[in-house]
Amino acid sequence: MYFNSREERCKSPYGAVICGSQVALTLYAEPGEEIARAVLVAHGEFADSWEEIELSPPDAWGGMRCIYTAPTEPELVWYHFRISWKKGGEAFFGKNGFRSWEELATWQLTVYDGASETPEWFGNGVSYQIFPDRFRRSGTERDVRGMVGNRTLHRDWDEMLEYLPNAEGKITCSDFFGGDLAGIAEKLGYLRSLGVTTLYLNPIFEAASNHRYDTANYMRIDPLLGSEDDFRALCEQAKAFGIRVILDGVFNHTGSNSVYFNAEGWFPSVGAAQSEDSPYASWYHFTHFPDEYNSWWGFKTLPDLEETAPSYMDFIFEGKDSVVRHWLRAGASGWRLDVADELPGVFIERLRRAMDEEKPGSYLLGEVWEDGSNKIAYSTRRKYLLGAQTHSLMNYPFRNALLGYLLGGNAADFRESMETLRENYPPAAFYGAMNFLGTHDTPRILTVLGYRGAWPQSREERSRLALNAAERYRGVRLLKLAALVMFSFPGSPTIYYGDEAGMQGFEDPFNRATYPWGREDRELIAFFSRLGAVRNARASLQRGAIEYVYAEGPVLAFRRALGDEASLTVCNAGQDEAKLTLPWHGEFAFDALTGERLRVFGGLLHLTLEPMDGALLIGE
C-alpha cells in the first residue's frame, strides 16, 4: 500500500483545509493485490465524530479514491484506512504502515475557519526583538528611588550584570541598566537599516524586576522606561520608518508586588493578598489566605491569575479602556501572548475578538514551543490556529530543526520537520510565524553555534566565558548560514537584539546583556542588513511557495517562487567542500548577497560550496 499525504496524487488540496472543503484522497495498492474493500476512517477529535467512506475499486494503477468533506466547524481530523482482503480478514493502514489498532499512527488533517483574514504585514516583514532595559538608554536621567521594587541602577552601560544569588540565596533580577523607550526611538534609523518592519518589545509595563514579567500595573509604562507619551511618540516615529510595534502581553500572572495583589503593601490599592473583599480577589486562587496561592511554576512572586474571572476579562480586553484596547489605541499594532499554553482558549478567543474590533489588522502571536496545530496543554488539545485565536505562533520548531541541522545533523531532518509544520498549519499561520535563532529565553545564538565542549556548570564560570578565536570563526560562519535560511524561509525572520552585532552569552541572565554600542561586529551587521534588504525587495521571499531542491547530509537547497520571480537558497553546513548541480533557467545566476555572477551551462548550474557557506541565488 502507498499513501503520502504531501503528494497531490494522494491528497488534494495540500495540507490544512478550510471548513467544509472537499478533499480528494487516493490510496494505492500493488497491481494485482486482492482487495475486496478499502474504507477511509476519519475521526473528528473535538466533536468526537466518526465517519467511514468507501473508496472506489482499484484502477489499472491500483488507485482507490474517495472524496472526504471536511467538517463545517474547525476540527482536527485523524484518518487512516481499513483494508479488507478477498481471501478474508482486514487490516488497518496508517502513517506507519499496517499496524494493530493500538500501534496505528494516523494522518492529521487540520480543518480551520477561513472566514477571517490574517494580516500579511507581519509574516512578510522583518522583526526585531528588544529586551527594553538592555538595548539603549537615552540621556534622560532617572532615579530608581521611589520606584516599585528594590532596584539598583548600573551607571556603566558595559559592566557585568548581576547573576549571583543575594544573601538570602535568591535571584532577584533587580539590577537595571536604564534602557528606555527614548533610547529605542533614537535607534529607529539603525533598525530600519537592518530591514526591520516590526519591533517586538518584551514587557514595558511597571514591574519590580528588570525582565518585567511580574507586572505591577498594566496601565502604566515602567517609569524607568519613560511615560505613555514616550510610548506614543515611539510608535509615531516608528511608523514614519515603516515599523510597527508589538507588545508582550503577560496575562497569565502578575507580580506579587502589584496594584492587584499588593502582597508588600507598596500600592495604595487594596490588593487581593490584603483582603478577601478586594476588588481583585476573584482574580487569584488562594488555598490558604493570604499566604498560600496558585503561582506560576511555584514562584511566589508570580501569583497565577484566574483568567476567566469576568472582572479580569473586562479589565484586560472587554472594557472600553481595557488594557489591550488602550495600548492598541496608543499605537501598538499587535500583542504577543506570553505562555499561551496556560491561557484558556475562551480567553484568547475573546482577546482576539477585542483586537479585531478595536484595531482591524492588528496581529496576535502566541508563545508556544511545539507544533501548535496539535499541542496538548494541561490535558487539553489547543485550538490556537483554527481561526478564532492567534494569527500565528513563535516558531520554536524552526529554531530547533535549524540548529539540529547546523550542528552536525542531516538536512533531510530539517526538511521533514518543516514540511510537517507546513502540512499541519493553515497557510496563513505558516507564512505568518515568528522565526528566530534566539530569544530572551534561549542562550545567544553565536554561543550555541560556536562553543565546543561541555558547557560550564556554575554561573561564575559562564559569566567569564567567551568564545576563543577558532570558536568565534566557526560560530560566525554558522550564524551567517542560519540567518540566510531564516531570512529566506516562510515567516517573519526575527533578530534578537544584538545577535546581529555578535553578542555572546549563555542562558538567562547572560543572554540579556546590554547592546555593545561602539563595539559591534560591523561585518556581521552588514551581512544582516543585506539579508534584510533582499528580503524586503523580493516578493518571492515574503510570500513565495517553498520547494526543497536538495536536502541530504550537510547540504540544503530550497526555492521560493512567486509568479515569475524565484529565489534559491543553498547551504553547506559541513566541514568539507560540497558540490551541487541544479537545473537553472537563464544564462547566469547571481548571488544576491555578494553580487557574484555564475555562468549556467546547458541549463545546469554547477555550484561549489565552501565549508559552512551558502548563497542566495536569483535570476537576471
Looking at residue 116, its pLDDT comes to 87
Upstream peptide bond of 509 is cis (omega within 30 degrees of 0): yes
Name the DSSP class of 489.
S
Indicate if the pLDDT at residue 32 is higher than 80. Answer: no
Looking at residue 255, its pLDDT comes to 98
In SS3 terms, 200-222 reads as EECCCEEECCCCCCCEEEEEEEC
Which has the closest alpha carbon to 612: 442, 438, 420, 484? 484
Indicate if the pLDDT at residue 287 is higher than 80. Answer: yes
Phi/psi of residue 201, nearest 5 degrees: -105, 130
d(CA 173, CA 158): 17
C-beta neighbour count of 369 within 10 angstroms: 17
| Beta-sheet pairing, 434-436 with 376-377 | unpaired
The alpha carbon of 19 is separated from its chain's Cα centroid by a whole number of angstroms, namely 25
Q: Where are the alpha helices (H) located in 495-553, listed in sequence order?
A: 522-537, 539-543
- Residue 179's identity, in one-letter code, is G
Looking at residue 31, its pLDDT comes to 81
Residue whose entry in the numeric block shows the C-alpha cell 522583526: 127
pLDDT above 90: percentage of residues in the chain: 96
| Beta-sheet pairing, 363-366 with 334-337 | parallel
Beta strand spans in 179-313 (E) = 198-201, 205-207, 215-221, 244-249, 286-288, 292-293
Q: Does an H or E element contain 414, and which?
A: helix 411-424
b (16+ CB within 10 A) / e for 36-50:
eebbbbbbbeeeeee
Point out which residues pair with 94 in neighbouring strands: 97
Determine if the pTM surpasses 0.95.
yes
Residue whose entry in the numeric block shows the C-alpha cell 499561520: 429
107 confidence band (pLDDT: 50, 70, 90): very high
CA dihedral 148, 152, 156, 160 (to 10 degrees): -110
Judged by DSSP in three states, 302 sits in coil
Q: Where are the alpha helices (H) located in 264-395, listed in sequence order?
A: 310-313, 323-329, 345-358
Looking at residue 139, its pLDDT comes to 87
| Beta-sheet pairing, 49-54 with 35-44 | antiparallel
Residue whose entry in the numeric block shows the C-alpha cell 488534494: 12
- Residue 19's identity, in one-letter code, is C
Judged by DSSP in three states, 180 sits in coil
| Beta-sheet pairing, 75-85 with 35-44 | antiparallel
Which has the closest alpha carbon to 443: 474, 490, 399, 488? 399
60 confidence band (pLDDT: 50, 70, 90): confident
328 confidence band (pLDDT: 50, 70, 90): very high
Looking at residue 68, its pLDDT comes to 98
Indicate if the pLDDT at residue 509 is higher than 90. Answer: yes
Indicate if the pLDDT at residue 516 is higher than 80. Answer: yes
C-beta neighbour count of 169 within 10 angstroms: 7
> What residues are annotated to the active site?
338, 367
Cβ atoms of 538 and 618 closer than 8 Å? yes
Q: What would the pLDDT profile of 417-462 be if each residue is shown by its tens digit?
A: 999 999 999 999 999 999 999 999 999 999 999 999 899 989 999 9
d(CA 580, CA 570): 9
Upstream peptide bond of 456 is cis (omega within 30 degrees of 0): no
Q: Which three cell numbers stand for residue 239?
A: 511608523
Task: Answer left, alpha or beta for residue 331, where phi above 0 means left and psi between -120 and 50 means alpha.
Answer: left
Q: Which three cell numbers stand for residue 389?
A: 485565536
d(CA 512, CA 439): 9
pLDDT above 70: percentage of residues in the chain: 100
Which has the closest alpha carbon to 121: 328, 365, 317, 351? 365
In Å, what is the CA distance from 240 to each residue of 114, 189, 200, 233, 361? 32, 10, 17, 11, 18
Average of pLDDT values for 60-70? 95
Helix 411-424 and helix 396-406, axial crossing angle in degrees, nearest 10: 170
Looking at residue 580, its pLDDT comes to 96
- Residue 493's identity, in one-letter code, is P
Average of pLDDT values for 539-566? 98
First to last CA, the chain: 45
| Burial of 243 (C-beta count, 10 Å sphere; 0-12/13-18/19+) | buried
* Per-state percent for the chain, helix, strand, coil, to nearest 5: 25, 25, 45
List the single range of 91-100, 162-171, 379-388 with lowest mean pLDDT.
Answer: 162-171
Q: What would the pLDDT profile of 118-167 be if each residue is shown by its tens digit?
A: 999 999 999 999 999 999 999 899 999 999 999 999 999 999 999 999 98
Residue whose entry in the numeric block shows the C-alpha cell 568564545: 467
Mean pLDDT of the chain: 97
CA angle centred on 379, ends 373 and 380, rounded to 5°: 45
